[in-house]
Structure 1
Amino acid sequence: MPQLCPAEPVVAVTRLAGVTTDVFVNTHPFETPGEKARSVFGGYLLGQCVAAAQQTVPETHDVHSLQSTFLLPGNPNEKVSYHVERLSDGRSFSSRLVRAIQPGDVVHFTAIVGFQKRSTQPPPPPPPTLNYGEAMPAFGHGSPDDIDAGSAEACLVEGGYPKPMLDLWRDPFQWRILPRDRAMGSDTVEDPTRFRMQSFVRVAPSMLPVDGSRRATHHALLAFLSDLFLIYTTNLATARPVTGFAIETTMNHSVWFHAPDVAVDDWLACERDTAWADDGRVLIRQRLWRRRDGRLVMSCVQEALARLNRSGGGSSL
């Protein structure tokens, strides 16, 4: 199973000294699943671009949206610099353009990050339709403690994630995967739009400082989480392990943040499903609810490139 690591270093960025523009670099080296890692995991770019953009707006502003495009794979052994451009600043909303650049002035990733001034009023109670227990009856009101701690490893291995890489990968999140409804999986249905995976997830409490962290850190970690193993929803939906794909990579990734007071060290209920697949591309959707009160905290949509090996035979992609 993936080893746990401290949470804050995953998204920490440092302002580059000696420059007049808003430029930040990753504070710590990237964690990789072994020496043969070919690119920077997209969650780092997502979380760190949110962290960098956050430093260019007042502390009273919280991230509410992120629309990003992955252009080229990044070298995990090189620093990434995040160049933040201040697109707009209004009374309530601010927008930032972030470019992730590595040596040679190569742009690997771009994102537009939106911020909203924090309301002084308490948030309204969530509509019943957004309560995870009602929106996802399979969750019911169960407890993550009732789910096998090894469920995440079993799920990833089933999806084709190489076991040696899994043992080397480090991130701060704990996963508890619910049993899937096989009538919705690829064993009996060829249509991947009917596949759905549900789980509970959180940052392990020991991986976040006891005295708490700034809410901006929680938002950046939520952005990191939004890409964590997300593309393997495709593998499980098509019964095609990762070895059956010649290419699997994110193209576009959008996130909407619905709860500024979210704490990622509380259990979140997560649902992922594939909504469309054709011409070598797949669409994956994701929603996260806060378990303790059922409030929707994040929505996400990802378009990914998923091309099969020519020898892989037929597939629903």
Structure 2
Amino acid sequence: MTGRTPTERLSDLLDLEEIDLNIFRGRSPHESLQRVFGGQVAGQALVAAGRTVGADRPVHSLHAYFLRPGIPGVPIVYQVERIRDGRSFTTRRVVAVQRGRTIFNLTASFHLPEPGIEHQLPMPEVPDPESLPTLADEIRAQLGTLPEPLERMARRQAFDIRYVERLRWSADALRDAEPRSGVWMRAIGSLGDDPLVHTCALTYASDMTLLDAVRLPVEPLWGPRGFDTASLDHAMWFHRPFRADEWFLYQQESPVATGARGLARGQIYNREGKLIVSVTQEGLFRKLDA
């Protein structure tokens, strides 16, 4: 893996090894994290499901639960159950196992494209991505330098992330903040031409910033954290074809947070303003001990 670009490493993560019929194994890189990134597990599980479906049937929805934290550095085995192969729809269930324990499950549905009704609400008006600073540049401008942990993260990051609104850096700045956030994103480098790779790469990216909307009224997005957060479940609906290595706008909002859980919704648009993906996720927000 030495010398590989971040995008090439992402492609490697999504290139699962088929070890038996309907059984795949995915890499889990060694990271200085408490748990495997949820977007990685979701993206790999969708790769496993997609490998058992014909290329003429793209995924149109997935529903998943994060059951246990994954262990960095330990391979993950994905077991695919072929639930249904119909004339128009195909359904797969995937169970992710690590060291003999189920850590994640996913159900995905694939649909043979067909003509039908067409409409959507318009994309919000936001600045173009080229006019916005990268996340690393914004942090560097605010702090005067990029702390070493964030520098390492920036070097490994496969996606260029640009926040539509300037980040708030203090509790005072968050006063009266709405639970909304928006980012432009794209993979840094080409992901090739396989539509399944682009779908699974965007699935990976969809877990990166979605819970920002829940946190915004409570604490700055970048800085000391007062909550331990984790994804609990994740659902996505894929409306149109897209490329994850071209700019997409990820608009996020949190309609409710109560107790130790917060709900977030996301809408993903391509550069032409077409709604390509809708996302919903619930996250755990457990207050850290002072």
TM range (shorter): 0.7 to 0.9
The yes-or-no answer on 1:195 pairing with 2:198 is no
Residue 276 of structure 1, CA deviation: 0.8
Task: Specify the SS of the correspondent of 2:174.
Answer: coil
For residues 137 and 264 of structure 2, the distance between their equivalents in structure 1, rounded to whole angstroms, comes to 19
Match of 1:315 in 2: none
| Residue pair 2:14, 2:200 contacting (<8 A) in 1 also | yes
| Residue pair 1:71, 1:108 contacting (<8 A) in 2 also | yes
Seen in structure 2, the aligned counterparts of structure 1 residues 154 and 77 have a Cα distance that, compared at 3 Å, is same
For residues 66 and 289 of structure 2, the distance between their equivalents in structure 1, rounded to whole angstroms, comes to 25
| Residue pair 1:186, 1:236 contacting (<8 A) in 2 also | no
Q: Which amino acid aligns with 2:183?
A: S
Task: Specify the SS of the correspondent of 1:40.
Answer: coil
Considering only aligned residues, what root-mean-square deviation do their CA atoms show, in Å?
2.7
The yes-or-no answer on 1:245 pairing with 2:245 is no
Residue 175 of structure 1, CA deviation: 1.2
Seen in structure 2, the aligned counterparts of structure 1 residues 280 and 29 have a Cα distance that, compared at 3 Å, is closer
The yes-or-no answer on 1:106 pairing with 2:101 is yes
Residue 102 of structure 1, CA deviation: 0.9
Q: How does 1:293-308 map to 2 (within 5 A)?
A: 293-308=272-287
For residues 64 and 152 of structure 1, the distance between their equivalents in structure 2, rounded to whole angstroms, comes to 36
What is the TM-score of this pair, normalised by structure 2? Answer: 0.85
The yes-or-no answer on 1:226 pairing with 2:210 is no
Task: Specify the SS of the correspondent of 1:5.
Answer: helix
Q: Which amino acid aligns with 1:115?
A: F
| Residue pair 1:11, 1:47 contacting (<8 A) in 2 also | yes
- Range moving further from structure 2, 275-284 or 245-254: 245-254
| Residue pair 2:122, 2:273 contacting (<8 A) in 1 also | yes
Match of 2:24 in 1: 24
Unaligned stretches of 5+ residues in structure 2: none
The yes-or-no answer on 1:173 pairing with 2:159 is yes
The yes-or-no answer on 1:289 pairing with 2:269 is yes
The yes-or-no answer on 1:53 pairing with 2:54 is no
The yes-or-no answer on 1:154 pairing with 2:154 is no
For residues 220 and 166 of structure 2, the distance between their equivalents in structure 1, rounded to whole angstroms, comes to 16
Q: How does 1:121-140 map to 2 (within 5 A)?
A: 127=119, 129-132=120-123, 136-137=124-125, 139=126
Seen in structure 2, the aligned counterparts of structure 1 residues 23 and 152 have a Cα distance that, compared at 3 Å, is farther
Seen in structure 2, the aligned counterparts of structure 1 residues 181 and 217 have a Cα distance that, compared at 3 Å, is closer
For residues 181 and 247 of structure 1, the distance between their equivalents in structure 2, rounded to whole angstroms, comes to 20
Q: Which amino acid aligns with 1:179?
A: E
Match of 1:116 in 2: 111
For residues 282 and 84 of structure 2, the distance between their equivalents in structure 1, rounded to whole angstroms, comes to 27
Residue 76 of structure 1, CA deviation: 1.1
Match of 1:64 in 2: 60
| Residue pair 2:219, 2:226 contacting (<8 A) in 1 also | no
For residues 44 and 258 of structure 1, the distance between their equivalents in structure 2, rounded to whole angstroms, comes to 22
| Residue pair 2:78, 2:94 contacting (<8 A) in 1 also | yes
What is the TM-score of this pair, normalised by structure 1? Answer: 0.79
Seen in structure 2, the aligned counterparts of structure 1 residues 274 and 102 have a Cα distance that, compared at 3 Å, is same
Residue 275 of structure 1, CA deviation: 1.5
| Residue pair 1:176, 1:200 contacting (<8 A) in 2 also | yes
Q: Output one character per residue of 1:202-250: Cα deviation in whole Å (capped at 9) or x when no partner.
A: 112x343xxx321111111111111013333333331256744352111
Q: Which has the higher contact order (CA 8 A, sep 6+)?
A: 1
Task: Name segments (4+ residues, structure 1) moved above 3 Å.
Answer: 150-153, 162-165, 240-246
Task: Specify the SS of the correspondent of 1:217.
Answer: helix
The yes-or-no answer on 1:5 pairing with 2:12 is no
Match of 2:237 in 1: 256
Q: How does 1:65-80 map to 2 (within 5 A)?
A: 65-80=61-76
| Residue pair 1:130, 1:294 contacting (<8 A) in 2 also | no
Q: Which amino acid aligns with 2:29?
A: F
The yes-or-no answer on 1:42 pairing with 2:42 is no
Q: Which amino acid aligns with 1:5?
A: T
The yes-or-no answer on 1:144 pairing with 2:129 is yes
Match of 1:314 in 2: none
| Residue pair 1:197, 1:273 contacting (<8 A) in 2 also | yes
The yes-or-no answer on 1:309 pairing with 2:257 is no
